Chains A and B, each alone.
Chain A
Amino acid sequence: DGGITQSPKYLFRKEGQNVTLSCEQNLNHDAMYWYRQDPGQGLRLIYYSQIVNDFQKGDIAEGYSVSREKKESFPLTVTSAQKNPTAFYLCASSHREGNEQFFGPGTRLTVL
């Protein structure tokens, strides 16, 4: 069953703690993306990676970090430097030569 998985679906953390969100894909896609979604603001790009061991900042990278050690995995760490981390986080992937992005089911992070 091919697709993108994100875990967990809901995540609660105390303020000041770092937290890592998981994203795995078995679609053999080269590119992977992380978006943040807030009510009424659409999707904003945090980081993206077009190839293993390489990634670029998106529009709102401050307070976040990523790694791309394997083609199928692109974890996102929300650090304590992110001032307003409570949001719905979406991971996506696409073929390098294509444009269609496939999205995972998302992780809702709540920082208490």
Chain B
Amino acid sequence: GENVEQHPSTLSVQEGDSAVIKCTYSDSASNYFPWYKQELGKGPQLIIDIRSNVGEKKDQRIAVTLNKTAKHFSLHITETQPEDSAVYFCAASEANFGNEKLTFGTGTRLTIIP
């Protein structure tokens, strides 16, 4: 089955700087890669996702890049703000009809230092 590894487990950055979180996956059949943000005591919320037919996707201060050959994808947050502090999870899925199982990474606790 799929295995997703996520690094680093904790990350502290100065407010206004950029943050990068990296994930690798093992199953070359995976073709859908979402990123979730989880605030303390709440359920995860999707912040951005990418499919294997594109290499990069951007939404305001958040971007995700995908390298299918190396089987890794990354989350980039620019101009970080205190409200970006949370735990971030990457995930991978073979997004075919009838198979929507997501395999999650172990999470990155991001702390923005004011």
Taking beta carbons and an 8 Å cutoff, which residues of A are in contact with B? 4, 31, 40-45, 48, 50, 58-59, 90, 92, 94, 96-106
Contacts and interface: CB of A to CB of B under 8 A. Distances in A.
A71 to B, nearest CB: 16
Nearest to A48: B101
B101 A43 contact: no
A40 B106 contact: yes
Contacts of A106: 41-43
Interface string B84-101: 000001000101011011
B100 A105 contact: no
Contacts of A105: 42-43
Interface in B33-66: 34, 36, 41-46, 49
B107 A40 contact: yes
A25 to B, nearest CB: 12
Contacts of A103: 36, 43-45
Nearest to A97: B97
B73 interface: no
30 contacts: A4-B43, A41-B106, A42-B104, A43-B102, A43-B104, A45-B101, A45-B102, A48-B100, A48-B101, A50-B98, A59-B1, A90-B43, A90-B44, A92-B43, A98-B100, A99-B34, A99-B49, A99-B93, A99-B95, A99-B102, A100-B34, A100-B46, A101-B34, A103-B36, A103-B45, A104-B43, A105-B43, A106-B41, A106-B42, A106-B43
B26 interface: no
A106 B40 CA distance: 11
Contacts of B46: 100-102
Nearest to A31: B100
Contacts of B67: none
A92 B103 CA distance: 14
Contacts of A43: 44, 89, 102, 104
